[in-house]
Amino acid sequence: MNKLIGTGVALITPFKNDLTVDQESLAKLVKNQIANGINYLVVLGTTAEVATLTKAEKKLVIDTVIKANNSQLPLVLGIGGNNTAALVEELSYEDLSAFEAVLSVSPYYNKPTQEGIYQHYKALSEASPKPIIIYNVPGRTASNVLPATIKRLAEDFHNIIGIKEAAGDMVQAMKLIAMVPEGFLVISGDDMITLPMILAGGHGVISVIGQGFPAEFSEMVKIGLESKVKEAYKLHYKIAPSIDLIFSEGNPAGIKSLLHSKGLCEEAVRLPLMKASEKLKKELSRFVEAF
pLDDT digits over 101-124, tens only? 999 999 999 999 999 999 999 999
Contact yes or no for 111/142 (Cβ under 8 A): yes
Contact yes or no for 116/82 (Cβ under 8 A): no
The pLDDT score that the predictor gives to residue 143 is 96
Q: Which of 58, 121, 135, 256 is catalytic?
A: 135
Contact yes or no for 76/99 (Cβ under 8 A): yes
| Residue 281 CA to its chain's centroid (Å) | 23
Instruction: Note the helical H segments in the chain.
Output: 23-35, 55-69, 84-93, 114-127, 138-141, 147-156, 170-179, 194-199, 214-225, 229-247, 253-261, 278-290
Measure CA of the first residue to CA of the last residue in the chain; give whole Å: 33
Q: Which of 164, 222, 256, 281 is catalytic?
A: 164
Q: Is the pLDDT of residue 1 over 70?
A: no
pLDDT in tens, 81-102: 999 999 999 999 999 999 999 9
Known catalytic membership, residue 164: yes
Half-sphere exposure (Cβ direction) of 166: Cα atoms closer than 13 Å: 22
DSSP 3-state of 214: helix
Which whole-number Å values give the CA distances from 166 to 173, 249, 253, in the listed order?
9, 18, 19
Beta bridge pairs of residue 136: 165
Q: Can you state the angle between helices 170-179 and 147-156, rounded to 10 degrees?
A: 30
| Residue 92 CA to its chain's centroid (Å) | 23
pLDDT in tens, 219-270: 999 999 999 999 999 999 999 999 999 999 999 999 999 999 999 999 999 9
What span, in angstroms and rounded, lies between the C-alpha atoms of 291 and 243?
13
- 173, amino acid identity: A
Known catalytic membership, residue 135: yes
User: Could you tell me which of 44, 36, 27 has the C-alpha nearest to residue 6?
Assistant: 36
pLDDT in tens, 189-231: 999 999 999 999 999 999 999 999 999 999 999 999 999 999 9
DSSP 3-state of 161: strand
pTM: 0.97
Name the average pLDDT for the chain.
97
What lies within 8 Å, CB to CB, of 63 at 6+ separation is none
* % of the chain exceeding 90 in pLDDT: 99
Beta bridge pairs of residue 105: 135
pLDDT in tens, 13-47: 999 999 999 999 999 999 999 999 999 999 999 99
The pLDDT score that the predictor gives to residue 235 is 98
The pLDDT score that the predictor gives to residue 188 is 98
- 133, amino acid identity: I
pLDDT in tens, 139-181: 999 999 999 999 999 999 999 999 999 999 999 999 999 999 9
What lies within 8 Å, CB to CB, of 110 at 6+ separation is 82, 116, 143
SS3 content of the chain, % helix, strand, coil (to 5): 50, 15, 35
